[in-house]
Chains A and B, each alone.
Chain A
Amino acid sequence: MLADVPMVFILVGITAYTVLSGADFGAGLWTLIPGGGQTDAATTRDHTRHSIGPVWEANHVWLIFILTVAWTCYPVAFGSIVSTLSIPLFIAAVGIIFRGTTYAMRSQLERGEGRGVRLVENLFALSSVLTPFALATVIGAIATGRVPVGNARGNLITSWLNPVSILAGVLAVAFSGYLAAVYLAADARRLAERSLVHDFRIRALASGVAAGALALAGLLVVRAEGAQTRALWHGLTSGAGLAMVCLCALAGVLTMILVWLNRFGLARASAALAVAAVIAGWAAAQSPRLLPGLTVRQAAADPATLTATIIGVAVGAVVLVPSLTLLYTLVLRGRLDTGGSSGGGDPFVSSRETAAKVTARPMRPAAAAFAVASLVVGVGLMVFAGPVWAAGVGALLLLACAVTVFALATSPPAG
């Protein structure tokens, strides 16, 4: 039982990453093909970029969460997976670098800046396509049992370049485009951008159909591949696996209907449900096998490690859930939107008048005395103390001294 809990965390993490970060990657896809709508390409790109601004970094952390829970709780499986699948993982890592950096750069460029803008935008878009593709081939490799236990024991190429993996990759790209289109339509609605709503609604419908078709094709490929994927096929077409596949199909169709009816908020939710169902279905199909010859329980670390991780995640969740709620509430209410608000800034000139208020105060002797005392005692404790706690107290006093001196040094405005 204990051994399965972290796996549930990982699956939840994969779901969250797909639903949230997937949409951020998909936004990149739409900057690659921004034309064909009522709005011009540049406006479409700007809309796409602005709407992922406040959230993409937080969304990205789900990936870190998945990795760290995996290597703590299922170290043997993790080691086997990353060594055999080093190439797609490396590609994903490079894609992540490119996407983050080009995003930061694009935000610094003005529209009119010509070729440089185009280059940065294309790099951003290409890396947004490459990364989900590479990550999904990894899932495909694990699902089809192509990662044997051991240090780089699997085939470095065919483990991830095989029909199922490639199809998973393409599906991931299509699906992230679909999610992004739904979200971007909802954001455009909030900003009352009529023609953007129109465009992204159409994009959502088109990419939704594509993703659905690819998913069906995926099932057929799994079936057609024969011996290698027999277990997966069996798992997906019976019991809980089948139930989840059906749920996914239902949620997928429902999402399309909601998009058709312009109910983008609800469509977000049902799209997330479809993702969760796919991932649960995959887990059910594969359970209890993690890698060939290695079940989840066999792969799990010691009970002490599992308990520690579960406690860590539980405590973390207490912080995380309210924080995420706050972030998404602010985003959905438009409190973090950019553009449109002009009066909010603080014109620098206003400081002239207020500057007079800040008259140079004399150095406060009490503070200075405290700084000297904490310096002497702190250094004394750190240099001569035996036990760690005494040195720690010394370090705290040193910090207190540093803070006091800093406050004194910056107190009356320098100069």
Chain B
Amino acid sequence: MLSRTVLSLALAGLAGRTGGAAPPVDQQYLFEARQMQALSLSVHIPLVCFGIAFPVMILYAEWRSLRSGDGLYRTLARRWSKIMLALFAVGVVTGTILSFELGLLWPVWIQDFGNVFGLGFTLEGFSFFVEAIFIGIYVYGWDRLSPRLHFLSGLPIAVAGVTGSFFVISVNAWMNHPTGFTLSDGRAVDAHPWSALFANPFFWSEYVHMYFAAYIVCGFLMAGAYAWAYLRGRRGRYERTALGICLSAASVAAPAEGVVGDWAARDVAKYQPVKLAAMEGLPATTRGAAEHLLGWYNGHAVVYGIEIPRLLSLLAFHNPNAVVKGLDIVPLADQPPVNVVRFAFQIMVDVGALLALLGVIYLFIRFRRRRLPEVTWFYWAVIAAGPLSVVALIAGWITTEVGRQPWIVYDVMRVDAAVTGAHDIPVGYGALCLVYLGLAGAVFWLLRRFSRVPLPVDDEPPGGSGAG
């Protein structure tokens, strides 16, 4: 086609690129750009967890109030919905930063591959539309919509939480296992976005894993607040009910997360062997590979760790004698930083195991004794579990994203080929750090305000004090 030839000429203007692997610009601030991207994602992702899980928990409470006529559940749902709205506002703005930033920092990535993965973001946009529209109706409609209608107006929020994360994760899965296009002169042509995003075998484990993680994070963080209240002597029916819902949501998700994580690990072993080798610190391709707990990778092997023979082969391929590929299948320049990936992975798994244990303990007591646990350490553990689950969440993403290095599109485009040529990155990075610090302060302040609104007077109009 003629227009294609013209386009190639125009593209030749893209700073002397010579195919996918050559760095087209000399960006001395690549490291800062990556840090900046990671920072913004780490700020956004805990809020996303609330976007996914919180509407469901709130609707559950409202549904209980509809069924039983118990005003307590309605109060609960109503108070939570105000927190949801405020966190949603922060999720909206941090997400907007991300959509700017992906373009600002990695324009060549969008230029060359936006035609393949962009659809995921476009569809995600519609989910956000639905979420934002109905969150407005739900939170501002408590007084003037009939109870049933009000409940129904909340359902689209929950659905949009599912679909929104579905579409975003599909993009990330594509970056990790890119398919559905032909590579020509370093850019994607002949793109098939539907199959690239949604027929991607790497996608499903990643999505399900994230979905459960959202309930763990949201559940334990909320439960932590009520556990704190419990320890300070606020143990009324309201606090106990709230604690029960939050803790139950997190406790059923936490043990399940380990099973899904095993599935995710096998997908990594299949599609990204180098990442798996980095997660495990496996220098060379090995039959019957051992698993190492803790320790340090010194460039040749894991030292000072606890070695469990053949366990890695068993976990990754369900066969103690399976061959696991090592880092040496690619040159050193194509290997991710092993210790970062490995520590992040171990932190996630160890924290995950602790959280699963805590969840099982809770469910056990709940079903055996038909009540909340009474020992103090349990409540301290729940308070700790909130921040810890965020740590696991971020650690998991560091495993995924740093483990993909040096590729932005795995095995197709390197990060240094994707980065912007603009030289204002450090200024932006510094400014963004300050902005996020302020944001963190604001969120903390907001949540404290919410927890201090006195309980029995819930008859204020929703916009009066709680709506954000």
Interface residues of A (CB under 8 A from B): 50, 53-55, 57-58, 60-61, 63-65, 67-69, 71-73, 75-76, 78-80, 82-84, 86-87, 89-90, 92-94, 96-105, 107-108, 110, 148-153, 156, 293-294, 297-299, 301-302, 304-305, 308-309, 312-313, 316, 319-320, 323-324, 326-327, 330, 334-351, 354-355, 357-358, 360, 363, 378-379, 382-384, 388, 391-392, 395, 398-399, 401-403, 405-406, 408-410, 412-415
Contact = CB atoms under 8 A, between A and B. Distances in A.
B203 to A, nearest CB: 9
B422 A61 contact: no
B100 A89 contact: yes
B72 A351 contact: yes
A187 to B, nearest CB: 13
B460 A345 contact: yes
Interface residues of B, number: 136
B7 A391 contact: no
Given A75-B118, A327-B137, 8 more contacts: A68-B121, A72-B119, A78-B107, A149-B13, A312-B126, A347-B456, A348-B72, A355-B237
A100 B119 contact: no
24 contacts: A53-B467, A64-B128, A68-B121, A75-B114, A83-B421, A86-B420, A97-B435, A99-B93, A151-B14, A152-B107, A293-B10, A301-B118, A305-B191, A316-B126, A323-B133, A334-B144, A337-B144, A338-B463, A339-B463, A345-B459, A348-B75, A395-B208, A401-B256, A408-B367
A327 B259 contact: no
A349 B193 contact: no
A63 B97 CA distance: 11
Given A65-B129, A104-B86, A151 B93 contact: no
Given A336-B144, A358-B68, A406 B248 contact: yes
B209 to A, nearest CB: 9
A347 B130 contact: no
B172 interface: no
B421 A152 contact: yes
A323 B129 contact: yes
A107 B100 contact: no
A76 B119 contact: no
Contacts of A354: 68-71
A148 B15 CA distance: 12
B463 A313 contact: no
Contacts of A348: 71-72, 75, 238, 455-458
Contact of B249 (A391, A399, A406): A406
B466 A108 contact: yes
B72 A76 contact: no
Contacts of B112: 75
Nearest to B200: A388
A130 to B, nearest CB: 13
A57 B367 contact: no
A347 B78 CA distance: 12
Interface in B118-172: 118-119, 121-126, 128-130, 132-137, 139-145, 156
Nearest to B262: A383
B13 A153 contact: yes
B356 to A, nearest CB: 12
Contacts of A98: 435
Contacts of B95: 64
Contact of B71 (A75, A103, A335, A347): A347
Residue from the set B71, B116, B251 with the largest chain A CB neighbour count within 10 Å: B71
B283 interface: no
Please provide the 10 A-B residue pairs with the shortest distance between their CB atoms, ordered closest to farther.
A72-B118, A345-B459, A338-B463, A344-B143, A414-B244, A104-B468, A75-B114, A79-B107, A316-B126, A301-B115
A414 B93 contact: no
A410 B190 contact: no
A363 B367 contact: yes
B132 A58 contact: yes
Contacts of B74: 346
B412 interface: no
Contacts of A412: 370
Contact of A358 (B70, B114, B132, B256): B70
B260 interface: yes
A415 B438 CA distance: 39
Contact of A415 (B96, B126, B237): B237
A146 to B, nearest CB: 15
A86 B424 contact: yes
Interface string B429-468: 0011001001100110110011000011111111111111
Instruction: Give the one of B132, B363, B446, B457 with max A CB within 10 A.
Output: B132
Contacts of A346: 71, 74-75, 78, 458-459
B421 A108 contact: no
